[in-house]
A and B are shown apart, each in its own frame.
Chain A
Amino acid sequence: MLYLLKQVLEKGICTEPPPQPTGAWHVDSAPLQDAILTLLGRALAIRHVDAGSCNGCELEIHALNNPYYNLEGRGIRFVASPRHADMLLVTGPVARNMQIAVKRAYDATPEPKLVVAVGDCGCTGGIFGESYASCGRVANVIPVNVAIPGCPPPPLEILRGILSAITHSNRQSVVP
């Protein structure tokens, strides 16, 4: 236990500053963000859904949860059920074998809700495209608010995408 405490003290706080949000990744103009801000302030509960990724995006979402990014300190946390979530973070092209499950997760998420598609596959279908086995991009199956490019996008870009989906500046620029 002594060593454990020593290690904790020696490491100190490693958290780094967050990235600036970007409006460029917005793909729709759903006015839901207003409601989220009103209801929740900046706190955000995210449900991750792997719809068919190669698990590269999962590795980077895991990395986003390391102390350098201090996600919970910024009021963002991952939850275990879509029913507890404000946002679905969806990776991969949507495998046809996952199509029904993804729709159900979306339906189970209470309104108002946001969907962020992560990675080139989520944005466009990526290298896997559309086929007998893949529905292609996430937006082909459920409505998407923000799509984060990259294969996989590094943690900072995923955080930028999440922040872009909820920040005030972007909301103003996209709400008609």
Chain B
Amino acid sequence: MTEADLQFRSLAGAMPVRIATATESQWTSIARVFADAGDRLAALWGSDRRDISEGFVVYAAYAAQDGLAIVRLPVLSEPPEYPALSTRYPSAVRMQRALFDLLGVHARDSGDQRSWLRHAAWPADFFPLRRDLERTRSFDAQQEQYPFVMVAGDGVHEIPVGPIHAGIIEPGHFRFSIVGEKVLRLEERLGFVHKGIDKLFVGMPLSQGHRLAGRVSGDSTVAYAWAYAMAAETATACVVPPRTAWLRALLLERERVANHLGDLGALGNDAGLAFGLAQFSLLRERWLRVNGELFGHRLLMDCIFPGGMVTDPDSSALTRIRQQCIDIEKEVHRLRAIYDEHAGLQDRFQTTGVVTPELAARLGLCGLAGRASGQARDLRIDFPCAPYDRLGVKLALDIRGDVAARVAVRFDELFESLRLMRLIVDDLPGGKVQLSLPPINSDSFGIGWVEGWRGEVVVALEADASGRVRRCHSHDPSWQNWPLLEHAVLDNIVPDFPLINKSFNLSYSGHDL
């Protein structure tokens, strides 16, 4: 079978996206075609379309050479099941488990079938994303007995950590099996902050979902809001004015810089250099204050909505942004020189938490962490939508795959973002920044695909004829990257785990939904 056997239809929108409906055998063979071509699995989700006689529909989104390819598989069997993708794509394992927990559609031949997002807070036969089940049902939470994989052997013991961690961090559970100080195995147990976001989207007016999308993962609020807006605009065939796209990119780069500043400080701190945290957190605070003054929100929440931008900075605001980029660049150059020449810091960073490029490619490591392990992918470069097609984004790449590489990629991306922002401010086109979404009169589908600071964010949206969200799925790059953390920590010592974990800085909320 070749790709051509599936009838893909292009979706008009900011990013190159095509979609096709497959039979079960096509579903399996197209997965093989994409996997053999080295294309990544970008997301996997499901939808209840029984009310319109399609049964359940399972969606796989592949990041192919020419854009995002979405394959839909209607599932009409009882009990509902589909061929697992995890045989080709290891990163699909947890997505399949989550899909079953939320929708009750089972991945055949999937191996690991433990529940993932469902702990013991609702019963095993309650599948929240089924349309006939009420969102507001509530059950008594029970203590979960999760079957962790036990490691046996002389002197092996376990360290359970979490869900509440010893710091200002999101909750999740880590089960270390160690011998001496060395980590033999790490098993993650996530899902603690599952808030029912996908179910909450159902029935929301299309024009209002951006607020919720912007709270899937607070640190990536711009990326999610833009991806949601892009999806809603695709679904309604709305083309936003150029100035809107440029301003969205400005905010996306501001979000990237804010997060990189925070992470670079925290990484110094986790390696014992409190100076780094103090210095970078001052820069970050100045950065956030300018966000607040110019855009009305320090983290830039609710600035982007379907059809436009809430605020339109005037020329004095743009001058200020430009000047701040120059100032921060100077300061970060100085701090990078200090980090680079600090022997104690580099000793902790280098060869710690290595993910080799081979492993990264095999398991689908993406985004910033992927680029630190030689995965030369960045949506802003591979599929540049406006304004990135005019900016010539330079790729930050490292092949060492250790903490030092993830630090270096952050520094490089930070400088590049500061350069991009100056270009954006200088060449910002004029015109309107707001449109209202055109009405739709039939079911439609849209997708948003944005390179957030952590990696690529996917928002898939089904809208109904009344202009409401029928189904909206948000996919965080953390889905692909969490399993790699389990590998990165192997053979390292337990005290290096916080440093390694921070160097990935993955989202719990964005993953748990």
Contacts and interface: CB of A to CB of B under 8 A. Distances in A.
Interface of A: 3-4, 7-8, 11, 14, 48-63, 65-68, 78, 80-81, 92-93, 95-101, 105, 127-135, 151-152, 154-155
Contacts, number: 173
Interface in B264-307: 266, 275, 278-279, 281-282, 284-285, 288, 292, 298-299, 301
Given A66-B282, A97-B512, 13 more contacts: A7-B334, A50-B164, A55-B170, A58-B218, A59-B262, A63-B284, A67-B282, A78-B167, A98-B171, A99-B141, A128-B200, A131-B136, A134-B196
Interface in B296-347: 298-299, 301, 334-335, 337-338, 341-342
A81 B139 CA distance: 29
Interface stretch (B10-18, B179-187, B209-217, B351-359): B209-217
17 contacts: A3-B337, A3-B341, A4-B342, A7-B275, A11-B282, A48-B168, A52-B192, A54-B215, A58-B169, A59-B218, A78-B167, A80-B166, A81-B166, A127-B211, A130-B138, A133-B196, A154-B292
**5 closest Cβ pairs, A-B complex:** A56-B218, A133-B196, A96-B121, A80-B166, A66-B281
B298 A101 contact: no
Given A52-B193, A97-B194, A8 B218 contact: no
Contact of B507 (A55, A63, A80): A55
Interface in B452-473: none
A152 B166 contact: no
B105 to A, nearest CB: 18
B72 to A, nearest CB: 26
Contact of A105 (B164, B215, B298): B164
Contact of B163 (A78, A101, A127, A155): A101
Q: Which of A48, A54, A66 has the most CB of B within 10 A?
A: A54
B218 A152 contact: yes
A55 B217 contact: yes
A101 B278 contact: no
A11 to B, nearest CB: 7
Of the candidates B164, B168, B212, the one having the most CB atoms from chain A within 10 angstroms of its own CB is: B168
A18 to B, nearest CB: 15
Nearest to B342: A4
B334 A133 contact: no
B141 A100 contact: yes
B342 A58 contact: no
A4 B466 CA distance: 60
Contacts of B136: 130-132
B218 A131 contact: no
Q: A55, A92, A129: which has the most chain B beta carbons within 10 Å?
A: A55
Contact of B285 (A7, A53, A66): A66
Contacts of B334: 3, 7
A128 B135 CA distance: 11
A47 to B, nearest CB: 8
A66 B139 contact: no
Contacts of B254: none
Contacts of A14: 282
Nearest to A125: B195
Interface string B209-251: 0011001111101000000000000000000000000000000
Contacts of A50: 164, 169-171, 193
B299 A59 contact: yes
Contacts of B335: 7
Contact of A49 (B164, B282, B512): B164
B264 to A, nearest CB: 13
Contacts of A4: 275, 338, 342
Interface string B425-457: 000000000000000000000000000000000
Contacts of B171: 50-52, 98, 101
B335 to A, nearest CB: 7
